[in-house]
A = this chain, B = another copy of it.
Amino acid sequence: MAKQKKGKADDGGLREQLRVPSGPVDLTTYDTRATPGFSGSKDEGKVALEGLEAEVSDWQERLFAEGRKDGERSVLLVLQGMDTSGKGGVIRHGAGLMDPQGLKITSFKAPTAAEKRRGFLWRIKQALPSEGMIGIFDRSHYEDVLIARVRNLVTPNVWNRRYDQINDFEAELDAHGVTIVKCYLHISQEEQKVRLQARLDDPTKHWKYNPGDVDERELWPDYMDAYHAAIERCNTPEAPWYVIPSDRKWYRNWAVTTILLETLRSLDPQWPQADYDIDTEKKRLAAT
Q: Which residues of B contact A100 (CB under 8 A)?
A: 91-92, 95-96, 98, 100, 103, 105
- The answer to whether B105 and A204 touch across the interface, beta carbons within 8 angstroms, is no
Contacts of A207 in B (CB 8 A): 65, 68-69, 271-272, 274
Which residues of A pack against B, CB within 8 Å?
65, 68-69, 88, 91-92, 95-96, 98-101, 103, 105, 107, 138, 193, 196-197, 200, 203-204, 206-211, 214, 217-218, 271-274, 276, 278, 281-282, 284-285, 288
Residues B99 and A276 in contact, CB atoms below 8 Å apart: no
Q: What is the bound-complex CA distance between A284 and B217, given in angstroms? A: 11
Set of chain B residues within 8 Å of A210, measured between Cβ atoms: 276
Tell which of B68, B96, B99, B218 touches A288, judged by Cβ atoms closer than 8 Å: B218
Q: How far is the CA of A209 from the CA of B69 in the complex (A)?
A: 11
For residue A129, give the distance in angstroms from its CB to the closest CB of chain B: 13
Q: How many copies of this chain sit in the oligomeric assembly?
A: 2
Residue on B with the closest CB to A91?
Answer: B101
Does the CB pair B99–A282 fall under 8 Å? no
Nearest-CB residue, chain B, relative to A65: B207
- Report, nearest first, the 9 A-B pairs whose CB atoms are least far apart: A206-B274, A207-B272, A100-B100, A65-B207, A92-B99, A204-B271, A214-B284, A211-B276, A100-B103
Additional pairs, 14, CB under 8 Å, beyond known A203-B271, A206-B271: A68-B207, A69-B207, A88-B101, A98-B100, A100-B103, A101-B105, A101-B138, A197-B285, A200-B285, A207-B272, A209-B274, A209-B276, A214-B281, A217-B288
- Give the chain B neighbours of A101 by CB distance below 8 A: 88, 91-92, 105, 107, 138
Contacts of A288 in B (CB 8 A): 193, 214, 217-218
A206 and B69 CA atoms in complex are apart in Å by: 11
B105, B203, B285: the one contacting A196 at CB < 8 Å is B285
A278–B91 CA distance with the chains assembled, in angstroms? 28
Do A282 and B200 have beta carbons less than 8 Å apart?
yes
- Which residues of chain B are near A204, meaning CB under 8 Å? 271
A64: nearest chain-B partner, CB-CB: B207
